[in-house]
Structure 1
Protein backbone atom coordinates (compact mmCIF):
# COMPACT_ATOMS: atom_id res chain seq x y z
CA UNK A 1 0.00 0.00 0.00
CA UNK A 2 1.36 3.40 -0.98
CA UNK A 3 2.16 6.13 1.58
CA UNK A 4 -0.66 8.37 0.31
CA UNK A 5 -3.06 5.48 0.87
CA UNK A 6 -1.95 5.27 4.49
CA UNK A 7 -2.63 8.94 5.03
CA UNK A 8 -6.07 8.76 3.47
CA UNK A 9 -6.93 5.81 5.69
CA UNK A 10 -5.63 7.69 8.73
CA UNK A 11 -7.88 10.58 7.86
CA UNK A 12 -10.79 8.19 7.57
CA UNK A 13 -10.07 6.80 11.03
CA UNK A 14 -9.78 10.21 12.59
CA UNK A 15 -12.88 11.64 10.95
CA UNK A 16 -15.34 8.76 11.00
CA UNK A 17 -13.66 6.03 13.03
CA UNK A 18 -13.58 3.40 10.30
CA UNK A 19 -11.24 2.14 7.59
CA UNK A 20 -12.86 1.94 4.23
CA UNK A 21 -10.42 3.05 1.58
CA UNK A 22 -9.38 0.25 -0.76
CA UNK A 23 -8.06 0.60 -3.32
CA UNK A 24 -6.24 3.91 -3.22
CA UNK A 25 -7.46 6.71 -5.44
CA UNK A 26 -5.96 8.75 -8.22
CA UNK A 27 -7.27 10.72 -11.12
CA UNK A 28 -7.22 9.69 -14.76
CA UNK A 29 -8.04 12.57 -17.12
CA UNK A 30 -8.46 11.58 -20.71
CA UNK A 31 -9.80 14.55 -22.63
CA UNK A 32 -6.47 15.74 -24.01
CA UNK A 33 -5.80 15.53 -27.69
CA UNK A 34 -2.08 16.16 -27.74
CA UNK A 35 0.66 15.00 -25.41
CA UNK A 36 2.74 18.00 -26.33
CA UNK A 37 0.11 20.24 -24.78
CA UNK A 38 0.62 18.58 -21.42
CA UNK A 39 4.40 18.65 -21.14
CA UNK A 40 4.27 20.90 -18.11
CA UNK A 41 4.96 18.67 -15.08
CA UNK A 42 2.00 20.13 -13.20
CA UNK A 43 -0.34 19.21 -16.03
CA UNK A 44 0.02 15.45 -15.84
CA UNK A 45 -1.17 13.72 -12.68
CA UNK A 46 0.09 10.24 -11.79
CA UNK A 47 -2.11 7.52 -13.18
CA UNK A 48 -3.27 9.81 -15.98
CA UNK A 49 -3.49 8.56 -19.57
CA UNK A 50 -3.44 10.70 -22.66
CA UNK A 51 -5.67 10.10 -25.67
CA UNK A 52 -3.62 7.36 -27.28
CA UNK A 53 -6.28 5.84 -29.46
CA UNK A 54 -7.95 3.46 -27.01
CA UNK A 55 -10.57 3.90 -24.37
CA UNK A 56 -9.27 4.00 -20.80
CA UNK A 57 -12.30 5.68 -19.30
CA UNK A 58 -12.35 9.22 -17.93
CA UNK A 59 -11.81 9.64 -14.22
CA UNK A 60 -11.82 12.67 -11.96
CA UNK A 61 -11.62 13.32 -8.24
CA UNK A 62 -10.05 15.23 -5.41
CA UNK A 63 -7.05 12.93 -5.17
CA UNK A 64 -5.10 14.71 -7.92
CA UNK A 65 -3.12 16.78 -5.47
CA UNK A 66 -1.95 13.71 -3.60
CA UNK A 67 0.09 12.34 -6.46
CA UNK A 68 3.31 13.15 -8.22
CA UNK A 69 3.43 14.41 -11.78
CA UNK A 70 5.44 13.13 -14.71
CA UNK A 71 8.70 14.96 -15.32
CA UNK A 72 9.49 16.74 -18.59
CA UNK A 73 12.08 14.03 -19.31
CA UNK A 74 9.48 11.30 -18.85
CA UNK A 75 7.01 13.12 -21.06
CA UNK A 76 9.67 13.59 -23.75
CA UNK A 77 10.52 9.89 -23.65
CA UNK A 78 6.83 9.10 -23.89
CA UNK A 79 6.34 11.45 -26.83
CA UNK A 80 9.27 9.83 -28.63
CA UNK A 81 8.05 6.29 -27.99
CA UNK A 82 4.51 7.11 -29.10
CA UNK A 83 5.78 8.69 -32.31
CA UNK A 84 7.87 5.60 -33.02
CA UNK A 85 4.86 3.35 -32.41
CA UNK A 86 2.52 5.48 -34.52
CA UNK A 87 4.98 5.53 -37.42
CA UNK A 88 5.22 1.74 -37.51
CA UNK A 89 3.81 0.62 -40.85
CA UNK A 90 2.91 -2.95 -39.94
CA UNK A 91 1.58 -4.93 -36.99
CA UNK A 92 4.81 -6.85 -36.47
CA UNK A 93 6.77 -3.64 -36.00
CA UNK A 94 4.14 -2.20 -33.67
CA UNK A 95 4.24 -5.37 -31.58
CA UNK A 96 7.99 -5.03 -31.34
CA UNK A 97 7.78 -1.36 -30.30
CA UNK A 98 4.85 -1.89 -27.89
CA UNK A 99 7.02 -2.85 -24.86
CA UNK A 100 9.10 0.30 -25.31
CA UNK A 101 5.97 2.45 -25.37
CA UNK A 102 4.53 0.55 -22.41
CA UNK A 103 7.71 1.14 -20.41
CA UNK A 104 7.59 4.85 -21.21
CA UNK A 105 4.01 5.00 -19.97
CA UNK A 106 4.93 3.09 -16.82
CA UNK A 107 7.88 5.39 -16.11
CA UNK A 108 5.50 8.33 -16.42
CA UNK A 109 3.11 6.56 -13.99
CA UNK A 110 0.38 6.14 -16.62
CA UNK A 111 -0.33 2.57 -15.69
CA UNK A 112 -3.52 1.82 -17.60
CA UNK A 113 -1.83 2.77 -20.86
CA UNK A 114 1.26 0.79 -19.86
CA UNK A 115 -0.93 -2.25 -19.30
CA UNK A 116 -2.60 -1.78 -22.67
CA UNK A 117 0.67 -1.84 -24.60
CA UNK A 118 2.25 -4.55 -22.46
CA UNK A 119 -0.83 -6.62 -23.23
CA UNK A 120 -0.34 -6.08 -26.96
CA UNK A 121 3.24 -7.29 -26.61
CA UNK A 122 2.23 -10.26 -24.45
CA UNK A 123 -0.46 -11.40 -26.86
CA UNK A 124 2.03 -11.18 -29.71
CA UNK A 125 4.96 -12.86 -27.96
CA UNK A 126 3.39 -14.94 -25.23
CA UNK A 127 5.44 -15.93 -22.22
CA UNK A 128 4.99 -15.69 -18.47
CA UNK A 129 7.15 -12.59 -18.04
CA UNK A 130 5.30 -10.65 -20.71
CA UNK A 131 1.92 -11.37 -19.18
CA UNK A 132 3.27 -10.59 -15.71
CA UNK A 133 4.39 -7.13 -16.85
CA UNK A 134 0.95 -6.46 -18.31
CA UNK A 135 -0.78 -7.74 -15.18
CA UNK A 136 1.41 -5.65 -12.90
CA UNK A 137 0.70 -2.50 -14.90
CA UNK A 138 -3.04 -3.09 -14.91
CA UNK A 139 -2.93 -3.91 -11.21
CA UNK A 140 -1.14 -0.66 -10.46
CA UNK A 141 -3.79 1.20 -12.45
CA UNK A 142 -6.47 -0.72 -10.55
CA UNK A 143 -5.09 0.51 -7.23
CA UNK A 144 -5.46 4.10 -8.43
CA UNK A 145 -9.01 3.69 -9.74
CA UNK A 146 -11.26 6.62 -8.85
CA UNK A 147 -14.56 4.79 -9.20
CA UNK A 148 -15.92 1.32 -8.47
CA UNK A 149 -16.70 0.87 -12.15
CA UNK A 150 -13.14 1.72 -13.16
CA UNK A 151 -11.70 -0.53 -10.45
CA UNK A 152 -13.80 -3.42 -11.71
CA UNK A 153 -12.70 -2.82 -15.28
CA UNK A 154 -8.99 -2.61 -14.49
CA UNK A 155 -9.17 -5.44 -11.97
CA UNK A 156 -10.66 -7.69 -14.64
CA UNK A 157 -7.85 -6.75 -17.05
CA UNK A 158 -5.23 -7.51 -14.39
CA UNK A 159 -6.83 -10.88 -13.62
CA UNK A 160 -6.89 -11.87 -17.28
CA UNK A 161 -3.15 -11.24 -17.53
CA UNK A 162 -2.31 -12.96 -14.25
CA UNK A 163 -4.38 -15.98 -15.26
CA UNK A 164 -1.94 -16.50 -18.11
CA UNK A 165 0.93 -16.28 -15.62
CA UNK A 166 -0.63 -18.72 -13.15
CA UNK A 167 -1.52 -21.12 -15.94
CA UNK A 168 2.22 -21.59 -16.53
CA UNK A 169 3.39 -20.99 -12.97
CA UNK A 170 0.78 -21.74 -10.27
CA UNK A 171 3.40 -21.03 -7.58
CA UNK A 172 3.67 -17.32 -8.44
CA UNK A 173 2.27 -16.10 -5.11
CA UNK A 174 2.72 -12.42 -5.97
CA UNK A 175 0.43 -12.79 -8.99
CA UNK A 176 -2.02 -14.82 -6.92
CA UNK A 177 -2.08 -12.17 -4.18
CA UNK A 178 -2.78 -9.43 -6.71
CA UNK A 179 -5.59 -11.47 -8.24
CA UNK A 180 -7.04 -11.86 -4.76
CA UNK A 181 -7.05 -8.11 -4.18
CA UNK A 182 -8.82 -7.41 -7.46
CA UNK A 183 -11.66 -9.66 -6.31
CA UNK A 184 -12.09 -7.51 -3.19
CA UNK A 185 -13.44 -4.76 -5.45
CA UNK A 186 -16.07 -7.06 -6.96
CA UNK A 187 -19.38 -8.47 -5.76
CA UNK A 188 -17.50 -11.60 -4.69
CA UNK A 189 -14.87 -10.38 -2.19
CA UNK A 190 -14.78 -13.73 -0.39
CA UNK A 191 -13.10 -15.22 -3.44
CA UNK A 192 -10.24 -12.79 -2.87
CA UNK A 193 -10.03 -13.61 0.82
CA UNK A 194 -9.96 -17.32 0.02
CA UNK A 195 -7.07 -16.78 -2.38
CA UNK A 196 -5.15 -14.78 0.22
CA UNK A 197 -5.59 -17.59 2.72
CA UNK A 198 -4.29 -20.02 0.13
CA UNK A 199 -1.20 -17.84 -0.26
CA UNK A 200 -0.67 -17.85 3.51
CA UNK A 201 -1.13 -21.63 3.57
CA UNK A 202 1.66 -21.93 0.98
CA UNK A 203 3.86 -19.26 2.56
CA UNK A 204 2.95 -18.31 6.16
CA UNK A 205 5.48 -15.46 6.06
CA UNK A 206 4.22 -13.86 2.86
CA UNK A 207 4.35 -10.16 3.71
CA UNK A 208 1.99 -8.96 1.00
CA UNK A 209 -0.74 -11.46 1.89
CA UNK A 210 -0.36 -10.82 5.63
CA UNK A 211 -0.62 -7.08 5.07
CA UNK A 212 -3.70 -7.30 2.87
CA UNK A 213 -5.48 -9.72 5.21
CA UNK A 214 -4.76 -7.31 8.04
CA UNK A 215 -6.23 -4.41 6.09
CA UNK A 216 -9.32 -6.41 5.22
CA UNK A 217 -9.80 -7.35 8.86
CA UNK A 218 -9.64 -3.67 9.79
CA UNK A 219 -12.19 -2.78 7.16
CA UNK A 220 -14.63 -5.20 8.75
CA UNK A 221 -13.77 -3.83 12.22
CA UNK A 222 -12.13 -7.12 13.24
CA UNK A 223 -9.23 -5.35 14.90
CA UNK A 224 -8.23 -8.33 17.01
CA UNK A 225 -7.68 -10.41 13.88
CA UNK A 226 -5.98 -7.46 12.20
CA UNK A 227 -3.58 -7.18 15.13
CA UNK A 228 -2.67 -10.86 14.73
CA UNK A 229 -1.90 -10.39 11.05
CA UNK A 230 0.17 -7.26 11.58
CA UNK A 231 1.98 -8.75 14.57
CA UNK A 232 3.02 -11.65 12.36
CA UNK A 233 4.03 -9.24 9.61
CA UNK A 234 6.31 -7.14 11.81
CA UNK A 235 7.83 -10.28 13.30
CA UNK A 236 8.74 -11.32 9.76
CA UNK A 237 9.87 -7.83 8.80
CA UNK A 238 10.48 -5.48 11.77
CA UNK A 239 11.26 -2.64 9.34
CA UNK A 240 7.81 -2.74 7.71
CA UNK A 241 6.59 0.82 8.35
CA UNK A 242 3.01 0.31 7.18
CA UNK A 243 2.68 -2.95 9.11
CA UNK A 244 3.94 -1.28 12.28
CA UNK A 245 1.56 1.63 11.79
CA UNK A 246 -1.48 -0.56 11.29
CA UNK A 247 -0.51 -2.78 14.19
CA UNK A 248 -0.56 0.37 16.32
CA UNK A 249 -3.99 1.28 14.94
CA UNK A 250 -5.31 -2.21 15.62
CA UNK A 251 -4.03 -2.20 19.18
CA UNK A 252 -5.53 1.23 19.77
CA UNK A 253 -8.89 0.04 18.50
CA UNK A 254 -8.80 -2.97 20.83
CA UNK A 255 -8.08 -0.80 23.87
CA UNK A 256 -4.35 -1.51 24.18
CA UNK A 257 -3.52 2.17 24.25
CA UNK A 258 -0.07 2.07 25.84
CA UNK A 259 1.21 -0.55 23.40
CA UNK A 260 -0.32 1.46 20.58
CA UNK A 261 1.39 4.66 21.74
CA UNK A 262 4.75 2.91 21.85
CA UNK A 263 4.31 1.64 18.31
CA UNK A 264 3.13 4.99 16.97
CA UNK A 265 6.24 6.57 18.48
CA UNK A 266 8.32 3.85 16.82
CA UNK A 267 6.72 4.62 13.46
CA UNK A 268 7.84 8.24 13.75
CA UNK A 269 11.40 7.00 14.10
CA UNK A 270 11.06 4.67 11.11
CA UNK A 271 9.98 7.31 8.59
CA UNK A 272 10.97 10.90 7.89
CA UNK A 273 7.81 11.58 5.91
CA UNK A 274 6.37 14.75 7.49
CA UNK A 275 2.82 13.92 6.39
CA UNK A 276 2.99 10.49 8.01
CA UNK A 277 4.48 12.02 11.15
CA UNK A 278 1.66 14.54 11.32
CA UNK A 279 -0.91 11.78 10.95
CA UNK A 280 0.70 9.70 13.69
CA UNK A 281 0.73 12.76 15.96
CA UNK A 282 -2.96 13.25 15.28
CA UNK A 283 -3.69 9.68 16.24
CA UNK A 284 -1.51 9.97 19.37
CA UNK A 285 -3.50 13.03 20.38
CA UNK A 286 -6.63 10.92 20.36
CA UNK A 287 -5.03 8.40 22.69
CA UNK A 288 -3.82 10.94 25.25
Structure 2
Protein backbone atom coordinates (compact mmCIF):
# COMPACT_ATOMS: atom_id res chain seq x y z
CA UNK A 1 0.00 0.00 0.00
CA UNK A 2 1.36 3.41 -0.91
CA UNK A 3 1.65 6.31 1.55
CA UNK A 4 -1.11 8.18 -0.31
CA UNK A 5 -3.45 5.18 -0.04
CA UNK A 6 -2.67 4.92 3.65
CA UNK A 7 -3.50 8.57 4.22
CA UNK A 8 -6.68 8.30 2.18
CA UNK A 9 -7.98 5.32 4.13
CA UNK A 10 -6.93 6.42 7.59
CA UNK A 11 -7.93 10.01 6.96
CA UNK A 12 -11.51 8.92 6.28
CA UNK A 13 -12.03 8.12 9.95
CA UNK A 14 -12.32 10.55 12.84
CA UNK A 15 -10.42 8.01 14.93
CA UNK A 16 -7.14 9.03 13.32
CA UNK A 17 -7.67 12.39 11.65
CA UNK A 18 -5.18 13.72 14.19
CA UNK A 19 -2.50 11.47 12.71
CA UNK A 20 -2.29 13.41 9.47
CA UNK A 21 -2.32 16.82 11.11
CA UNK A 22 0.97 16.21 12.90
CA UNK A 23 4.19 17.71 11.52
CA UNK A 24 6.37 15.14 9.77
CA UNK A 25 9.36 16.43 11.71
CA UNK A 26 8.02 14.61 14.77
CA UNK A 27 9.71 11.21 14.98
CA UNK A 28 9.29 8.61 17.68
CA UNK A 29 12.84 7.55 18.27
CA UNK A 30 15.71 8.28 20.58
CA UNK A 31 16.91 11.35 18.62
CA UNK A 32 -23.98 32.42 27.30
CA UNK A 33 -26.84 30.75 27.53
CA UNK A 34 -27.94 31.06 23.93
CA UNK A 35 -25.69 29.42 21.39
CA UNK A 36 -25.96 30.04 17.67
CA UNK A 37 -25.03 26.81 15.95
CA UNK A 38 -23.75 26.17 12.47
CA UNK A 39 -26.09 24.34 10.16
CA UNK A 40 -23.40 22.59 8.13
CA UNK A 41 -22.42 19.10 9.29
CA UNK A 42 -20.02 16.66 7.72
CA UNK A 43 -22.44 13.78 8.35
CA UNK A 44 -26.19 13.60 8.39
CA UNK A 45 -27.54 13.49 11.94
CA UNK A 46 -30.06 10.66 12.47
CA UNK A 47 -33.49 11.60 13.80
CA UNK A 48 -32.82 9.74 17.05
CA UNK A 49 -29.75 11.90 17.69
CA UNK A 50 -31.64 15.07 16.66
CA UNK A 51 -34.18 14.18 19.35
CA UNK A 52 -31.39 13.81 21.90
CA UNK A 53 -29.97 17.18 20.87
CA UNK A 54 -33.35 18.87 21.27
CA UNK A 55 -33.84 17.28 24.69
CA UNK A 56 -30.40 18.43 25.84
CA UNK A 57 -31.17 21.97 24.65
CA UNK A 58 -34.36 21.87 26.71
CA UNK A 59 -32.51 20.66 29.79
CA UNK A 60 -29.86 23.36 29.40
CA UNK A 61 -32.49 26.08 29.16
CA UNK A 62 -34.44 24.96 32.22
CA UNK A 63 -31.55 23.96 34.50
CA UNK A 64 -30.39 26.53 37.05
CA UNK A 65 -27.53 24.60 38.67
CA UNK A 66 -24.36 25.67 36.85
CA UNK A 67 -22.54 22.33 37.09
CA UNK A 68 -25.54 20.35 35.84
CA UNK A 69 -26.04 22.89 33.07
CA UNK A 70 -22.39 22.47 32.06
CA UNK A 71 -22.73 18.67 31.98
CA UNK A 72 -25.75 18.92 29.69
CA UNK A 73 -23.85 21.32 27.43
CA UNK A 74 -20.88 18.97 27.33
CA UNK A 75 -23.14 16.07 26.33
CA UNK A 76 -24.63 18.22 23.58
CA UNK A 77 -21.18 19.22 22.33
CA UNK A 78 -20.14 15.56 22.18
CA UNK A 79 -23.17 14.79 19.99
CA UNK A 80 -22.07 17.52 17.59
CA UNK A 81 -18.49 16.25 17.59
CA UNK A 82 -19.68 12.74 16.74
CA UNK A 83 -21.20 14.11 13.54
CA UNK A 84 -18.47 16.52 12.50
CA UNK A 85 -20.04 19.79 13.67
CA UNK A 86 -16.81 20.95 15.32
CA UNK A 87 -17.61 24.69 15.39
CA UNK A 88 -20.97 24.08 17.06
CA UNK A 89 -19.31 21.94 19.72
CA UNK A 90 -16.61 24.55 20.34
CA UNK A 91 -19.23 27.21 21.04
CA UNK A 92 -20.51 25.10 23.90
CA UNK A 93 -16.97 24.89 25.29
CA UNK A 94 -16.95 28.68 25.36
CA UNK A 95 -20.24 28.96 27.22
CA UNK A 96 -19.31 26.23 29.71
CA UNK A 97 -16.18 28.22 30.52
CA UNK A 98 -18.32 31.33 31.07
CA UNK A 99 -20.66 29.43 33.36
CA UNK A 100 -18.14 27.60 35.58
CA UNK A 101 -15.43 30.32 35.72
CA UNK A 102 -12.66 27.77 36.39
CA UNK A 103 -10.49 25.35 34.40
CA UNK A 104 -12.85 22.57 33.39
CA UNK A 105 -12.19 19.04 32.17
CA UNK A 106 -15.42 19.35 30.19
CA UNK A 107 -14.00 22.29 28.24
CA UNK A 108 -10.66 20.54 27.73
CA UNK A 109 -12.45 17.44 26.46
CA UNK A 110 -14.46 19.38 23.86
CA UNK A 111 -11.46 21.33 22.57
CA UNK A 112 -9.25 18.24 22.43
CA UNK A 113 -11.76 16.21 20.42
CA UNK A 114 -12.36 19.25 18.19
CA UNK A 115 -8.58 19.25 17.61
CA UNK A 116 -8.64 15.55 16.70
CA UNK A 117 -11.58 15.93 14.33
CA UNK A 118 -10.83 19.25 12.67
CA UNK A 119 -11.07 19.37 8.90
CA UNK A 120 -7.62 20.88 8.34
CA UNK A 121 -4.26 21.51 10.03
CA UNK A 122 -4.80 25.21 10.75
CA UNK A 123 -8.15 24.63 12.42
CA UNK A 124 -6.61 21.71 14.32
CA UNK A 125 -3.77 23.89 15.62
CA UNK A 126 -6.25 26.54 16.81
CA UNK A 127 -8.18 23.98 18.84
CA UNK A 128 -4.95 22.38 20.06
CA UNK A 129 -3.91 25.76 21.52
CA UNK A 130 -7.27 26.13 23.28
CA UNK A 131 -7.13 22.59 24.62
CA UNK A 132 -3.52 23.05 25.75
CA UNK A 133 -4.32 26.19 27.74
CA UNK A 134 -7.00 24.41 29.76
CA UNK A 135 -5.04 21.17 30.13
CA UNK A 136 -2.00 22.99 31.50
CA UNK A 137 -4.13 24.70 34.16
CA UNK A 138 -5.79 21.41 35.10
CA UNK A 139 -2.43 19.65 35.40
CA UNK A 140 -1.12 22.38 37.69
CA UNK A 141 -3.80 21.26 40.14
CA UNK A 142 -3.51 17.54 39.39
CA UNK A 143 -0.03 16.76 37.99
CA UNK A 144 -0.48 12.99 38.39
CA UNK A 145 -3.44 12.79 35.99
CA UNK A 146 -2.03 10.76 33.09
CA UNK A 147 -5.17 11.09 30.98
CA UNK A 148 -4.75 14.86 30.93
CA UNK A 149 -1.00 14.53 30.43
CA UNK A 150 -1.48 12.28 27.38
CA UNK A 151 -3.79 14.84 25.83
CA UNK A 152 -1.45 17.71 26.61
CA UNK A 153 1.39 15.78 24.96
CA UNK A 154 -0.59 15.35 21.75
CA UNK A 155 -1.38 19.06 21.60
CA UNK A 156 2.33 19.82 22.02
CA UNK A 157 3.30 17.79 18.95
CA UNK A 158 1.60 20.42 16.78
CA UNK A 159 3.30 23.27 18.65
CA UNK A 160 6.59 24.99 17.86
CA UNK A 161 8.31 22.41 20.05
CA UNK A 162 6.84 19.06 18.94
CA UNK A 163 9.52 16.95 20.63
CA UNK A 164 8.22 18.24 23.97
CA UNK A 165 5.10 16.21 23.31
CA UNK A 166 7.07 13.08 22.46
CA UNK A 167 9.16 13.54 25.61
CA UNK A 168 6.02 13.87 27.70
CA UNK A 169 4.65 10.61 26.28
CA UNK A 170 7.90 8.90 27.24
CA UNK A 171 7.63 10.39 30.73
CA UNK A 172 4.18 8.84 31.05
CA UNK A 173 5.57 5.42 30.09
CA UNK A 174 8.35 5.88 32.63
CA UNK A 175 5.62 6.28 35.26
CA UNK A 176 3.33 3.61 33.83
CA UNK A 177 4.93 1.31 31.27
CA UNK A 178 1.57 -0.20 30.29
CA UNK A 179 -0.25 3.10 29.77
CA UNK A 180 -2.36 2.30 26.71
CA UNK A 181 -2.91 5.85 25.48
CA UNK A 182 0.77 6.77 25.61
CA UNK A 183 1.77 3.59 23.75
CA UNK A 184 -0.98 4.18 21.19
CA UNK A 185 0.04 7.81 20.68
CA UNK A 186 3.69 6.90 20.21
CA UNK A 187 2.69 4.19 17.75
CA UNK A 188 0.62 6.64 15.72
CA UNK A 189 3.50 9.10 15.67
CA UNK A 190 5.76 6.32 14.43
CA UNK A 191 3.34 5.51 11.58
CA UNK A 192 3.03 9.18 10.71
CA UNK A 193 6.79 9.56 10.44
CA UNK A 194 7.19 6.38 8.40
CA UNK A 195 8.83 4.32 11.17
CA UNK A 196 6.68 1.26 10.61
CA UNK A 197 8.94 -1.25 12.39
CA UNK A 198 8.84 0.94 15.50
CA UNK A 199 5.09 1.35 15.14
CA UNK A 200 4.70 -2.43 14.85
CA UNK A 201 6.55 -2.87 18.17
CA UNK A 202 4.23 -0.38 19.88
CA UNK A 203 1.03 -2.01 18.65
CA UNK A 204 2.30 -5.55 19.32
CA UNK A 205 2.86 -4.40 22.89
CA UNK A 206 -0.74 -3.18 23.13
CA UNK A 207 -2.15 -6.41 21.70
CA UNK A 208 -0.05 -8.44 24.15
CA UNK A 209 -1.54 -6.35 26.98
CA UNK A 210 -5.10 -6.77 25.70
CA UNK A 211 -5.92 -9.25 22.95
CA UNK A 212 -9.33 -7.59 22.52
CA UNK A 213 -7.83 -4.19 21.63
CA UNK A 214 -9.15 -4.05 18.06
CA UNK A 215 -7.94 -0.52 17.44
CA UNK A 216 -4.37 -1.61 18.24
CA UNK A 217 -4.82 -4.65 15.97
CA UNK A 218 -5.92 -2.40 13.13
CA UNK A 219 -2.85 -0.18 13.44
CA UNK A 220 -0.64 -3.26 13.84
CA UNK A 221 -2.04 -4.55 10.56
CA UNK A 222 -1.37 -1.18 8.90
CA UNK A 223 2.24 -1.27 10.13
CA UNK A 224 2.69 -4.82 8.85
CA UNK A 225 1.31 -3.92 5.44
CA UNK A 226 3.91 -1.17 5.14
CA UNK A 227 6.78 -3.59 5.84
CA UNK A 228 5.52 -6.28 3.43
CA UNK A 229 4.05 -8.62 6.03
CA UNK A 230 0.79 -8.90 4.11
CA UNK A 231 -0.21 -12.40 5.22
CA UNK A 232 0.08 -11.51 8.93
CA UNK A 233 -1.82 -8.27 8.32
CA UNK A 234 -4.59 -10.18 6.52
CA UNK A 235 -5.05 -12.50 9.49
CA UNK A 236 -5.40 -9.56 11.86
CA UNK A 237 -7.89 -7.76 9.62
CA UNK A 238 -9.99 -10.91 9.23
CA UNK A 239 -9.92 -11.36 12.99
CA UNK A 240 -11.23 -7.80 13.52
CA UNK A 241 -14.04 -8.35 11.01
CA UNK A 242 -15.03 -11.64 12.64
CA UNK A 243 -15.33 -10.11 16.10
CA UNK A 244 -18.78 -8.85 17.03
CA UNK A 245 -17.60 -6.30 19.60
CA UNK A 246 -15.37 -4.34 17.18
CA UNK A 247 -16.72 -0.82 16.81
CA UNK A 248 -18.21 -0.03 13.37
CA UNK A 249 -15.58 2.54 12.33
CA UNK A 250 -12.75 0.10 13.03
CA UNK A 251 -14.53 -2.68 11.13
CA UNK A 252 -15.09 -0.35 8.18
CA UNK A 253 -11.42 0.55 8.04
CA UNK A 254 -10.36 -3.09 8.48
CA UNK A 255 -12.58 -4.05 5.55
CA UNK A 256 -11.10 -1.28 3.39
CA UNK A 257 -7.57 -2.44 4.13
CA UNK A 258 -8.45 -6.07 3.52
CA UNK A 259 -9.92 -5.19 0.13
CA UNK A 260 -6.72 -3.34 -0.77
CA UNK A 261 -4.49 -6.38 -0.16
TM over 0.5: yes
Residue 13 (1) aligns with residue 6 (2): yes
Q: 1:70–1:255: structure 2 CA closer, same or farther, 3 Å change rule?
A: same
Please name the residue that 1:79 is paired with.
Answer: 57
Kindly indicate whether structure 1 or structure 2 has the higher relative contact order, using CA contacts under 8 Å at least 6 residues apart.
2
2:140 to 167, 178, 181: 167
SS of the aligned residue for 2:219 comes to: helix
The structure that has the greater radius of gyration is 1
8 Å contact kept, 1:102–1:118: yes
Deviation at 1:145, TM superposition (A): 1.4
The equivalent position to 2:73 in structure 1, one of 74, 98, 102, is 102
Contact residue 156 and residue 182 of structure 1 kept, 8 A: yes
Which of 116, 120, 128 aligns to 1:155? It is 128
1:52 equivalent to 2:35? Answer yes
Q: Matched residues in 1 for 2:172 and 2:49: separation?
A: 37
The answer to which of 262-271 and 174-183 deviates more is 262-271
Q: CA deviation at 1:116?
A: 1.9
Distance (whole Å) between structure 1 residues aligned to residue 154 and residue 7 of structure 2? 25
Distance 2:59 2:149 in 1: 31
For residues 117-172 of structure 1, give each alpha carbon's deviation from its aligned partner in whole angstroms, at most 9, with x where no partner exists. 3322442xx4xxx6222211221222221232321222122112111221111110
CA contact (8 A) 1:102 1:114 kept: yes
1:133–1:100 CA distance, 2 compared to 1 (3 A): closer
RMSD, aligned CA: 3.7
Is residue 2:207 matched to residue 1:212?
Answer: no
Task: Please list the CA deviations of residues 25-83 of structure 1 after superposition, one character each: whole Å capped at 9, or x if unmatched.
Answer: 9xxxxxxxxxxxxxxxxxxxxxxxxx826xx9x797xx813876772332322432454
SS at match of 1:52: coil
- The aligned counterpart of 2:170 is 197
Structure 2: segments with no counterpart, 5+ residues: 21-33, 82-88
* Offset, 1:14: 7.6
| 8 A contact 1:184–1:192 mirrored in 2 | yes
TM-superposition CA deviations, 1:190-237 (whole Å, max 9, x none)? 222111111111111111111111111001110000001001111111
User: What TM-score, normalized to structure 1?
Assistant: 0.68
Moved segments of 4+, more than 6 Å: 16-19, 66-70
Do residues 257 (structure 1) and 230 (structure 2) align?
A: yes
TM-score normalised by structure 2 residue count: 0.74
Deviation at 1:278, TM superposition (A): 5.4
Residues 239 and 82 (structure 1), Cα distance of their counterparts in 2 relative to 1, 3 Å cut: same
